[in-house]
Every structure is written in structure tokens, then in C-alpha cells.
Amino acid sequence: MNPPKNDVPPGSEALIVQHMALVGHIVRETMSRVPSHVDRDDLTSAGLTALVQAANAYDPERGVPFNRYAATRIRGAIVDDLRSIDWASRSVRRRSRELDMTRANLATVLGRTATTAEVAQAAGITLEEVIANDEDVSRAQVLSLSASEDDMIGERLVSNAPDPQAMLEHRERLTYLTEAIAELPDRLRLVVEQYFLAERPMGEIAETLGVTESRVSQLRAEAMVLLRDALNMALDPELVEPAARPNGCAARRRQAYFTAVADRHAAGLRGQMTGQMTGQMMSAPSTSYNASA
């Protein structure tokens, strides 16, 4: 791809030709860290335009080497171009959070990563909706908006490795999920434990409960909704949809379940604190009374 030709002073053209390889290097560096749907030609065009602008604005009397000055301008232009790519709407991000929660729930009960079809079934949406949401988020999560202009391009781009905060949040979700399963009504808890943990067929579970397989499927779906809402109530209350009849029996049972999960979690935290205090007391150096002192 040739650099833009408009308004290029003769003295600047040599700088542009000499440093076109710099654009290619920065584009290759960027392409290794962004999703595959990002178009290389678009980034190259943005980089070449920035190179031309840098050549036109360059002032050698400032003592800054041109390659360093141009690299900063090129990286900035590429970052700006990436930021303009289909940022996800608020609804897409909200659905993404819900699907992430569903995936975490299923991973715990299944002991493995859930398939996209299982996520769709548990979330109560179609397989196509899950795939479309994942694609929207992938397009959106290209850059970290908190980067400064002086950062290297590798530091501006989102890393796939979980950060400590994300790992802490994941552990907290798993803790709440375990507690939420324990507080489920007996029949719902049995279905969850037997279907997801013991991996028993629905037919066997139906025989154990004395109901039809269709009823087991309904109980499983009801349990998944309760688990999802319990985790959302604890970690992201804005995602919990209000009950259709706030004063009805179903709403009161639902609220009692949320309260039981919260109480169990609080009791667990108190137990951890007590254990830590006991451990500290036992590990503290002992002092003996010296009668002759």
C-alpha cells in the first residue's frame, strides 16, 4: 500500500520512504495482539497517514530522532483506528456479564467448560444469540482505554491472561455458587447435584423423584434461574429482574432463598475470620511469667 500523496513536501517524502518499514513493523506487532477480524490494510492505511503527518510536522531542531517521533504518531493513529471498531452497546455488555456468570456456574457444576449450546440452554436464549453476543464482545474488547500515549502498543492491548482482580472475582463467584446450591430446596438441589455433578441421566433422576423427565427438565431450569439470580443479587444486584408480583408467595420464597444464601455466606466469612484469629494466636510467641523477676 502506497502512502497518501496529498500535500507531501519534497523534503518530507524522503523521510516517508525511508520509514515505511516502520509502519509495517508496528502493524505486524499490533496484529499479533488483536482479534482476527481486524483488517490489516485498515491499520496500515492509518499508520501511513500518520507517517505522512509526522513527516510534515517534524522539527529536527527539537532533538528528537524522527523514527521515535514517527513511531509515537503511528502507534497513536493505529490505536485510534482500533478504538473506532464497533464498540459494544450497554445491552451487549450486560448480556455478556450474564453469560459469563452462566458459564462460571456451569463450569462449577459440570466440572468442565460448558459448551455454547449448554450455555444457551441455561441462559434461556438461543444458540445464535450467544454466538452473536460473543462476537460483539470480541470486536469491542480490542483496547484498554486507560492507556496513555507514552505506553508501548503491547501495553495498550487487552491481554488474554486473567488479572488478579478477575481471579479474585471468579473465586468469589464460585464460593457464592456453592452456597447457593446448598440453600436450594431439596428437590432442586437433588436435580442439580445428580444431573450436573453425578452426571446421571434425566430418566434415572425422574425415577428417583417419581416424576417425568419433562418435570426434571423444568426443575433443572428453575434451579438454574434461582442460582443465577442468587449470584446476581450478591454480586451484581442491577442484573436481578424484579418479581412480577412482589407481594406474592413466589416472590417471598425467592427473597427468603436470597437471604438464606447471604446468611450462609456471612457465616462462612465469620468462620474464616475466627480461624485466622485462632491461627494467629497459636502462632504468636508465648511469654512465661518469671517469678524471680
Give the residue with greater pLDDT, 196 vs 44.
44
d(CA 213, CA 253): 25
Percent of the chain predicted with pLDDT > 70: 72
Please compute the mean of the pLDDT values over residues 155-173 and round it to a whole number: 56
One fold for 90-145 and 164-278: yes
Q: What are phi and psi of 143, to 5 degrees?
A: -130, 160
pLDDT at position 235 is: 76
CATH number of 90-145: 1.10.10.10
Dump pLDDT digits (tens) for 178-195. 889 999 999 999 999 888
The confidence band for 123, taking pLDDT boundaries of 50, 70 and 90, is confident
Beta bridge partners of 157: 143
282 grid coordinates: 497459636
Joined grid coordinates for residue 43: 491499520
Burial class (CB in 10 A: 0-12, 13-18, 19+), 274: exposed
pLDDT tens per residue, range 43-88 = 899 999 999 999 888 888 888 888 888 999 999 888 888 766 645 5
Stated as kind and residue range, the H or E segment containing 173 is helix 164-182
44/260 Cα distance (integer angstroms): 57
Q: Which CATH number fits domain 164-278: 1.10.645.10, 1.10.10.10, 3.10.20.30, 3.40.640.10?
A: 1.10.10.10
Domain spans, the chain: 10-83, 90-145, 164-278
**CATH architecture observed for domain 10-83:** Orthogonal Bundle (1.10)
C-alpha to C-alpha distance for 38 and 46, rounded to whole angstroms: 13
The full DSSP string for 110-150 is HSSPPPHHHHHHHHTS-HHHHHHHHHHHHHHTTB-TT--TT
Supply 207's cell numbers: 425415577
